Amino acid sequence: MKIIAIATQKGGVGKTSTAVNLAAGLALCGSHVLVVDLDPQAQAGTALGVNLVGESQLARSLGWALQARSQGMRLELPQIWFDKSELLSEWEDAGTLHLLASEESTMTAAQDLIHKKGYQATPVLRRMLLELGDYFDCVIVDTPPAVSSLQATALAASDYVVTVCIPEYPALKGAAATRGTVRYVKDRTGGECDPQYLGAVLNRSNPPSKWKSQEVYIRNGMLEADLRPFMTDIRTDNRISDSFAFGEPAAIRFASHAPGKLYGQLMGQILERMLQPPEKWETPDRIEMEGTSV
């Protein structure tokens, strides 16, 4: 089982859509996949049709489980996860798709508790997820955008980290900051956690004919900041964001169209990098500014 965190310190760049669509694409290809919603805003749950409302539902929040485990109590994750494999019902060779859902009040309380306990509590999620190796081939963790104990917990939980950019200046800074943070996880967890940085995906990109100077700057900046951008971008497409309203990722709803194809290509490149040393990773070439509009 491999654990991949989708992380950046800049909000609003499409981190959640990247996480759920990569997870959906893997499941369509036959893998057994778990989505972990570690963001108090709970958008990954919304993207998969799960919203925790009412006291009875709060007991199924990952926030409760993190609080319990952080205080030495045991809560079995199979008792609280949601099976969303029905979303794959039209595909004969599909795997499974499950969700550990979030909720704001319980996740915020878990964040405060982990923060109070310090770095020794940071590996709590990783320890919980490693118990699920018999259930899943891959875990995709959606993380909160802000620097917080929850983001530290997500990075510590992961084997690999992927960052997300959009063609805007602040997004580049947020991805670079996350890239730097990954380097310190091993030391801060006493060697227990050692995630590998895999690269950055450019989300909401434009076709080359519509590139303006800012997009060219971001693309080149990703290379200069050693973000190791993937060859595949995720192009701007309303079908991706609109799919949230249906509780079904675009990679499933539009599997044979551009969203499904692009996320499939991106996931293939992520899997390739997991098997190759960094010096063999393929990245885009630097772009000359001439010919772009302002």
* Cα 242 to Cα 236: distance, rounded to the nearest angstrom: 12
pLDDT of residue 138: 98
Q: Report the number of distinct structural domains present in the chain.
A: 1
The tokens 């991805």 sit on which residue?
Answer: 175
Q: For 91-107, how does the pLDDT look when each residue is reduced to its tens digit (9 = 90+)?
A: 999 999 999 999 999 99
Range of the structural domain that residue 251 is part of: 2-280
230 part of a folded domain: yes
- Write the pLDDT tens digit of every residue in 197-237: 999 999 999 999 999 999 999 999 999 999 999 999 999 99
Residue 251 lies in a domain: yes
Q: Is residue 107 part of a domain?
A: yes
Which structure tokens are listed for 74?
A: 């045991």
Query: What stretches in the chain show pLDDT beneath 50?
Result: 292-294
Answer whether residue 275 is part of any domain: yes
- Cβ atoms of 257 and 239 within 8 Å: the answer is yes
Does a structural domain hold residue 287?
no
127: domain CATH number? 3.40.50.300
Consecutive H or E run containing 74: none
